[in-house]
Amino acid sequence: MSADGAAASTPLLEMRTVNAHYGAVHALRDVDLSIYEGDLVCLLGGNASGKSTTLKTLLGMLKPTSGEVVLDGEVVNDKPTSYRVARGVTMVPENRRLFKRLSVRENLELGAYLRSDTGAIAADLERIFELFPRVKERLSQKAGTLSGGEQQMVAMGRALMAKPRVLLMDEPSMGLAPALVQQNFELIQQIHEAGLTVFMVEQNANMALSIADRGWVLQTGRVVLDDTAENLLAHPDLRASYLGQADT
């Protein structure tokens, strides 16, 4: 593949008719997703719709029972998480999940665990300080002592330290005060504008669709809608399901 056209036609990260099970529970049913370089896309769904399972499958923490997970044109079904992280897939987990007993600096350094390019790591650290000046002030503090908003910054910083090509965000609005949610989504937008591909998983459909280009809606493990953000926002089914009514 050489031309730009080829790059645009090959998704960076893809799921091809993936099925996944937790024991007897059929968690994902024939899910098709494709994330292209430069995308800012989101996966929407309520509780137990399979959103987290999708992320786990993409990262290799759960093996699909059938179908393929494709990273940059390569089927990675049998590759471990570390292989995928080394090739540019990184996640900001739900509720941030920092290493609370470790210092902020150590948290950030762990983000770059698989990298050995010391000079570039230092440069990336500087870039993160520019993005989040507050983080720099707290470097030697234990991560568990930071406020929720600061922890969110460290979690993002830690993910960016891996030098990702695609950033997976698990419920970025979860467990944050409304003002911080707003700030967080602005941050995601900012990171995306700086050239990063972002895939968000969210319950807060309005918030996610306000910044995303495109989205999928997941219901009991099946993709029921796949459309642009504007169309989804206007879609009657989506409005209905987020008003808490049962689906048709």
List residues near another protein by CB under 8 A. 59, 61, 80-82, 85-86, 90-91, 93, 95-97, 99-102, 106, 109-111, 113-114, 142, 144-145, 147-148, 151, 158, 162, 175-177, 180
Q: Which two tokens stand for residue 66?
A: 């059938």
Smallest gap from Cβ 37 to another protein, in A, equals 22
Q: Which is nearer to another protein, 141 or 228 (CB)?
A: 141
Identify the three-state secondary structure at position 133.
helix
Residue 172 tokens read as 């970025």
Q: Which residues pair with 247 in a beta bridge?
A: none
User: Closest CB to another protein among 204 and 241?
Assistant: 204
Nearer to another protein, 8 or 25 (CB): 25
**Measured from the CB of residue 242, what is the shortest distance to another protein in angstroms?**
23
| Bridge partners of residue 28, in order along the sequence | 20
For another protein, which is the closer residue by CB, 41 or 59? 59
CA distances from 210 to 4, 141, 148, 171, 191 (A): 28, 35, 23, 15, 15
Q: How far is the CB of 156 from another protein (least distance, A)?
A: 14
- Cβ atoms of residues 168 and 55 within 8 Å: yes
